[in-house]
């Protein structure tokens, strides 16, 4: 093992090797947290800044406009998956990860300084859309490069556990955004100040954190898998090269669809759902969502470790079965309750099965592809699927709500999870049949 690379070359790990792996995973994960904080700050503060960009007397319509823009940014994620996946497979995981967080910095900074609709008219939501497109491009690349990096630096026996930290930090980014929201709500600003200008503060913080993360990532070690592969084979880095793995591409789409729809329902959409549909106050909404996300964060490494012992497939099937059967009852009961405690418990109940997907989906995808095409193979089909089923989930739910049939969304979500369950049942267990050892 060289001084410049770490990876999965041996199952016998000395203390120095373990220390380097943990450090690499920490730095990679911190950058992931910062990127997702920047992205989720939009959702956390949407209730405050939506009137500034989408003036309308109906708060549901305002939130629908914000949700549509949230979904539209996902259209850039496949392009980001290709661009940063190409960089990761050709020039290394480190370069791709560093550039993606720099890109996120620009997007966050643009939101922070954009004038309101009252000042510049339609140019305001247009500039906001541009900023979100940049952030979508960044996240499209971040997922594939990050999943690839964390999977490659982990040792084979603990790959599920270490890779689960991608979603620990992904959810952690949303938690950080909510913490900033709570501090601004309770300590520093009045509701009027938050609506007038205070919503800009989290985006300034995000831009500064992204600069810090970019500096940290510049010092990352390259993975041993990439270093070995670059000596023996030329990366394809192209869509045509990716099409040599049609089965794997379809598997990524199938295993992602239900999980990403569930994830964005119980993270992004919950902030709006418990406020507009359940009827909780703004403070109760923030605390309920925050508490459920803390619970979700704790589940990730537990499920990741379980997958290292029993395999990836049983964990995915658990998510598929429980999600198909429990989604409709949970959302129906959640809408009917008026208790913040009951709302918290119901969302946590949903996370017991959603974590079966989130904790290991990154490592499963990475284990499907050989090194030369891994970042592209993970990033592009994932980004396309998230754009179709994940980013649209809040908009679909709010659209059904405007029609007066919010319950239709419950069946929609349950149906998508069931389709993924079929894939889980048919696919091989990537823990036992992994391509991670193929440096080709």
Number of Cβ within 10 Å of residue 189's Cβ equals 18
Q: Would 46 be classed as within a structural domain?
A: yes
Half-sphere exposure of 170 (CA within 13 A, CB side): 23
CB 394 within 8 A of CB 268: yes
Q: Which of 55, 65, 63 is nearest to 117 (CA)?
A: 55
Return the bridge partners of 389, or none. Answer: none
Opening angle at CA 274, ends 67 and 253, nearest 5? 50
Residue 358 belongs to domain spanning: 16-426
Half-sphere exposure of 290 (CA within 13 A, CB side): 16
**DSSP label of 220:** P
* CATH number of the domain bearing residue 52: 1.20.1250.20
CB 262 within 8 A of CB 354: yes
Q: Go through 79-90 and write b for each residue having 16 or more CB atoms within 10 A of its CB, e for each that does not.
A: bbbbbbbbbbbb
Q: Would 434 be classed as within a structural domain?
A: no
This prediction has a pTM of 0.81
Rounded distance, CA 181 to CA 202, Å? 8
Q: Furthest-apart CA pair in the chain: how many Å?
A: 64
Q: Would 374 be classed as within a structural domain?
A: yes
- Going from the C-alpha of 198 to that of each of 41, 56, 189, 316, the distances in angstroms are 12, 20, 7, 41
**DSSP label of 75:** G
Q: Would 6 be classed as within a structural domain?
A: no
Q: What is the chain's pLDDT, residue by residue, as a tens digit (440 residues)?
A: 343 454 444 444 566 666 777 777 777 777 778 877 877 787 778 778 777 777 665 566 566 666 666 666 767 778 888 888 888 877 778 888 888 888 888 888 888 888 887 788 778 878 888 888 888 888 777 777 888 888 777 777 888 888 888 888 888 888 888 888 888 888 888 888 888 888 889 999 988 888 888 887 877 777 777 777 766 666 555 677 778 888 888 999 999 999 999 998 998 788 788 877 777 887 788 888 889 999 999 999 999 999 999 999 999 999 999 999 999 999 999 888 888 899 999 999 999 999 999 999 888 988 888 878 888 888 888 888 988 888 788 888 888 888 888 889 999 999 999 999 999 998 888 887 766 665 44
CB 29 within 8 A of CB 154: no
**DSSP label of 114:** P
The pLDDT, as a whole number, for residue 2 is: 40
Rounded distance, CA 68 to CA 63, Å? 9
Query: Alpha-carbon torsion 315, 320, 324, 327, what sign?
Result: positive
Quick one: tokens of 98? 């560093």
Q: Would 200 be classed as within a structural domain?
A: yes
H-run or E-run covering 215: helix 201-217
Quick one: tokens of 262? 């569930």
Question: How many domains is the chain built from?
Answer: 1
Q: Go through 10-44 and write b for each residue having 16 or more CB atoms within 10 A of its CB, e for each that does not.
A: eeeeeeebeebbeebbebbbbbbbbbbbbbbbbbb
CB 412 within 8 A of CB 345: no
CB 338 within 8 A of CB 278: yes
H-run or E-run covering 337: none
The pLDDT, as a whole number, for residue 9 is: 44
Q: Would 9 be classed as within a structural domain?
A: no
The pLDDT, as a whole number, for residue 414 is: 94
Give φ, ψ of 239 to 5 degrees: -65, -40
Q: Which residue shows structure tokens 């964990």?
A: 315
Rounded distance, CA 8 to CA 18, Å? 11
Q: Would 431 be classed as within a structural domain?
A: no
Q: Which of 157, 286, 145, 297 is nearest to 223 (CA)?
A: 145
Q: Which of 174, 176, 25, 210 is nearest to 101 (CA)?
A: 210
Q: Would 392 be classed as within a structural domain?
A: yes
Non-local (6+) Cβ contacts of 168 within 8 A are 29, 297, 300, 301
């Amino acid at each position: 093992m060289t001084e410049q690379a770490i990876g999965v070359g041996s199952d016998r790990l000395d203390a120095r090797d373990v220390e380097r792996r943990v450090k690499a995973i920490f730095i990679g994960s911190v950058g992931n947290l910062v990127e997702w904080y920047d992205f989720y700050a939009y959702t956390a503060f949407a209730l405050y800044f939506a009137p500034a960009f989408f003036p309308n007397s109906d708060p549901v319509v305002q939130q629908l406009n914000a949700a549509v823009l949230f979904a539209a940014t996902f259209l850039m994620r496949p392009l980001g998956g290709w661009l940063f996946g190409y960089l990761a497979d050709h020039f290394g995981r480190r370069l791709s990860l560093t550039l993606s967080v720099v890109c996120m910095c620009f997007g966050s900074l643009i939101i922070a300084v954009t004038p309101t609709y009252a000042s510049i008219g339609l140019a305001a939501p247009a500039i906001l859309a541009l900023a979100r497109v940049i952030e979508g491009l960044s996240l499209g690349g971040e997922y594939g490069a990050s999943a690839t990096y964390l999977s490659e630096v982990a040792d084979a026996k603990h790959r599920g556990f270490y890779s689960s930290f991608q979603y620990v930090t992904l959810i952690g980014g949303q938690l950080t955004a909510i913490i900033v929201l709570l501090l601004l709500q309770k300590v520093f600003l009045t509701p009027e100040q938050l609506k007038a200008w205070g919503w800009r503060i989290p985006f300034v913080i995000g831009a500064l954190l992204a600069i810090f993360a970019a500096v940290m990532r510049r010092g990352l070690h390259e993975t041993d898998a990439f270093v070995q592969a670059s000596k023996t084979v030329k990366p394809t880095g192209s869509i045509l090269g990716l099409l040599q793995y049609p089965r794997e591409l379809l598997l990524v789409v199938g295993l992602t669809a239900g999980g990403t729809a569930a994830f964005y329902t119980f993270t992004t959409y919950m902030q709006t759902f418990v406020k507009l549909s359940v009827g909780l106050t703004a403070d109760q909404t923030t605390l309920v969502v925050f508490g459920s996300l803390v619970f979700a964060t704790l589940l990730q490494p537990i499920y990741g470790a379980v997958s290292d012992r029993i395999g990836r497939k049983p964990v995915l099937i658990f998510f598929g079965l429980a999600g198909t059967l429990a989604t409709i009852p949970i959302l129906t009961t959640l809408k009917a309750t008026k208790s913040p405690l009951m709302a918290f418990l119901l969302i946590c109940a949903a996370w017991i099965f959603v974590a079966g997907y989130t904790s290991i989906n990154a490592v499963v995808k990475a284990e499907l592809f050989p090194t030369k095409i891994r970042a592209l193979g993970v990033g592009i089909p994932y980004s396309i699927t998230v754009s179709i089923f994940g980013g649209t989930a809040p908009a679909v739910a709010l659209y059904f709500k405007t029609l007066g049939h919010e319950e239709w969304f419950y069946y929609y979500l349950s149906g998508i999870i069931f389709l993924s369950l079929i894939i889980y049942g048919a696919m091989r267990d990537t823990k036992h049949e992994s391509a991670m050892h193929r440096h080709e």
